[in-house]
A and B are shown apart, each in its own frame.
Chain A
Amino acid sequence: MYSDKVMDHFENPRNVGELADASGSGTVGNAKCGDIMKMDIKVEDDIITDVKFKTFGCCAAVATSSMATEMIKGKTVSDALALTNRAVAEALDGLPPVKMHCSILAEEAIHAALEDYQKKHPQG
């Protein structure tokens, strides 16, 4: 049911953890639905230099979190804001239709962290 890439990111998730000196962080989802994602980002000179995540959720939720962190690392804030859930799902060679909401959650988590950063750093 899951692609090899999903299984790889589930078994060996990239960028798990938290950043003590995060420039922004965001938590989305809720325990009721069974998915919670927390993203911490470190931004230096408009570049995302580090990102870490923690996820409570299914295999697809872990894999989309992991892939999303890889896709925004090294990107500018505006490039990261342009990341779509579809792009995350495609990078994982697709997700089962019932799991697409996990990729939406990953996009929302990234956005929440970036918005938190922008709020704290109004000059950008």
Chain B
Amino acid sequence: MSDKRIIYLDNAATTAVRKEVLDAMLPWFIEHYGNPSSIHSVGRDAKRAVENARKQVAMAIGAQPQEIYFTGGGSESDNWAIRSAAEMLQSKGKHIITSSVEHHAVLHTCEYLEKKQGCRVTYLPVDEDGRVNPDDVKAAIAEDTVLITIMAANNEIGTLQPIAEIGRIAKEAGVLFHTDAVQAIGAIPVDVNEWNVGLLSLSAHKFHGPKGVGALYIRKGVRMNNLIYGGAQEKNLRAGTENLASIVGLGKAIELATAELPAHAARMTMLRDRLIRGILEAIPDVRLNGHATQRLPGNVNVSVRYIEGESLLMRLDLAGVEASSGSACTSGSLDPSHVLLAIGLPHEIAHGSLRLSLGNGNTDADVDYVLKVLPGIVETLRAMSPLSASNACPA
């Protein structure tokens, strides 16, 4: 194992913590271990570190520091944003608008509100590239609509949504707008005012920060429910002693990611497009999933016909390439990814999807290596498959 070359191409799942981020975090374990709520100097040090991180996060997304609330990550932020909005605004209405390609943290929360809280949820369709049509958002807004929640960028196929346009529509209609920006931070410019969002979720480990920490942006004036009772932390809304070192790490990671965004995005886009072009040229019967240009700089998602995703992942893993798939076998159910089905892929093509997501650590040599090994792996698996161009679906 130790001498095996590992090419990590699953940065949409998680990223390595950057050295600078870890260095920023380390003093807050042993040297400065105070509780930010304590009034003594050790506590005040810790409090300053938390507030500094809050400023760093605010700066990165064009917000005010007092609008940033630290959470345990993206899923927590999504759950909190949506449940709180539904509960706080229920006297006004019980209708929520979302899309069919959201992360499960959004979709399952909406399903819960539908089943247990009597909410009505509109799941907007997407086009073949995975884009929501802003006109559909506009048309779906009703008297009782209290929340629109549409992700900024899709985690599977990388498609960017027309968030600013949807934000404008939400603002005009006076409807609260939440966006899951977990994949967007560090990949595309994020500005809460340009986007007109009232709530925005983010997660540190997607941009080379630590796992288990994130934030929810809550625009001044948006009233929120308590997420956790029992303390004055995060303005009484989320009790519990702050995850000090991780919050410091989040602040550092988002500061670096934002400062380096233009150069980073340009380099990722170049690697991405080389990978996409190389795969489409070298392997027949492959399709690109997601929008060709309106996509995350680091996201490649292709469907390789006649083979199944998990087999492909395992063979790639044996060759040292770490990737991901939307096949049923990787989802824990019999259905392939809801995103791939939403863009209109038949099941058998959705089962053969492959996601390669680039990050800071990837180089041209990594792209070369994937382009060298992938065609052979596909050929081997296709030779074992009962499906082929002349026999696409016997059953």
Interface residues on A, range: 20 to 34
Q: B306 on the interface (CB 8 Å rule)?
A: yes
B384 adjacent to A54 (CB under 8 Å): yes
Q: Is A121 an interface residue (CB 8 A)?
A: no
Contact call A31/B385, Cβ cutoff below 8 A: no
Least CB distance from B305 to A in Å reads 10
Taking a contact as CB atoms under 8 Å apart, the answer to whether B311 and A59 are in contact is yes
B332 at interface by CB-CB < 8 Å: yes
Contact B311 A62 (CB under 8 A): yes
Complex CA–CA separation, A5 to B305 (angstroms): 27
Smallest distance from the beta carbon of A44 to chain B beta carbons, Å? 24
On whether the beta carbons of A56 and B386 are closer than 8 Å, the reply is yes
Which A50-66 residues sit within 8 Å CB-CB of chain B?
54-62
B318 to chain A, nearest CB (A): 7
A37 interface residue (CB < 8 Å to B): yes
Q: Are B384 and A33 in contact (CB under 8 A)?
A: no
Contact A55 B310 (CB under 8 A): no
**Measured between C-beta atoms, what is the minimum distance from A115 to chain B in Å?**
16
Tell whether B234 is near chain A: CB-to-CB under 8 Å: no
**B219: shortest Cβ distance to chain A, in Å?**
42
Residues in B whose Cβ lies below 8 Å from that of A27:
386, 394-395
- Interface assignment of B336: CB less than 8 Å from any CB of chain A: yes
A 9-47 contacts with B by CB, 8 A: 10-11, 13, 16, 27-38
Q: Is the CB of A58 within 8 A of B395?
A: no
Interface of A is mostly: mixed
What chain B residues lie within 8 Å of A62 (beta carbons)? 311, 384
The answer, among B314, B332, B383, B393, for a CB contact under 8 Å with A31, is B393
Instruction: Report how far A76 CA is from B81 CA in the complex, Å.
Output: 64
A57-B308, A62-B311 known; A34-B394 Cβ under 8 A:
no
Q: In the bound complex, do residue B329 and residue A58 qualify as a contact, i.e. CB atoms below 8 Å apart? A: yes
Bound Cα distance from A63 to B39, whole angstroms: 62
- Assess whether B19 is interfacial by the CB under 8 Å rule: no
Interface string of B328-359 (1 = CB under 8 A from A): 11001010100000000011100100000000
The contact of B385 among A54, A58, A98, by CB within 8 Å, is A54
The chain A residue sitting closest to B306, CB to CB, is A56
Does B395 contact A36, Cβ atoms closer than 8 Å?
yes
CB pair A31 B334 closer than 8 Å: no
Q: Are B308 and A56 in contact (CB-based, < 8 A)?
A: yes
Interface residue? B286 (CB, 8 A) = no
Q: Does B387 contact A (CB under 8 A)?
A: yes
Question: How distant is A42 from chain B, measured CB to nearest CB, in Å?
Answer: 18
With A27-B395, A58-B310, A62-B311 in contact, do A34 and B334 touch (Cβ < 8 Å)? yes
Q: How far is the CA of A48 from the CA of B154 in the complex (A)?
A: 51
Q: Which residues in chain B, 292-332, are within 8 Å of chain A measured between CB atoms?
A: 306-311, 314, 318, 327-329, 332
The residues of A that contact B386 with a CB separation of less than 8 Å are 27, 36-38, 54-56
Q: How far is the CA of A75 from the CA of B336 in the complex (A)?
A: 37
Q: Is the CB of B329 within 8 A of A32?
A: no
- Residue of B with least CB distance to A98: B332
Complex CA–CA separation, A58 to B328 (angstroms):
9
Whether A55 touches B384, Cβ cut-off 8 Å, given contacts A10-B311, A11-B318, A34-B336, is yes
- State how many angstroms separate the Cβ of B109 from the closest Cβ of chain A: 25
Q: Which of A29, A55, A61 contacts B395 (CB 8 A)?
A: A29
Q: How far is the CB of B45 from chain A (nearest CB, A)?
A: 44
- 1/0 contact trace for A60-89 toward B, CB 8 Å? 111000000000000000000000000000
- Give min CB distance, A3 to chain B, whole Å: 13
Q: Would B394 and A36 count as touching, CB distance under 8 A?
A: yes
- Whether the Cβ atoms of B348 and A32 lie closer than 8 Å is yes
CB distance from B388 to the nearest CB of A (A): 10
- Of A13, A31, A32, the residue contacting B387 (CB under 8 A) is A31
In Å, the complex CA distance between A29 and B308 comes to 13
Interface flags for B43-77 (1: CB within 8 Å of A; 0: not) read 00000000000000000000000000000000000
9 contacts between A and B (CB under 8 A): A29-B395, A34-B327, A34-B348, A36-B387, A37-B386, A56-B306, A56-B385, A58-B310, A58-B329
| Chain A residues engaging chain B, CB cutoff 8 angstroms | 10-11, 13, 16, 27-38, 54-62, 98-99
A56-B385, A99-B329 given; 10 more Cβ-contact pairs under 8 Å: A10-B314, A16-B384, A27-B395, A30-B395, A31-B346, A31-B348, A38-B386, A54-B384, A56-B306, A62-B311
Closest 7 CB pairs of A and B: A31-B348, A58-B329, A58-B310, A30-B395, A54-B386, A38-B386, A34-B351
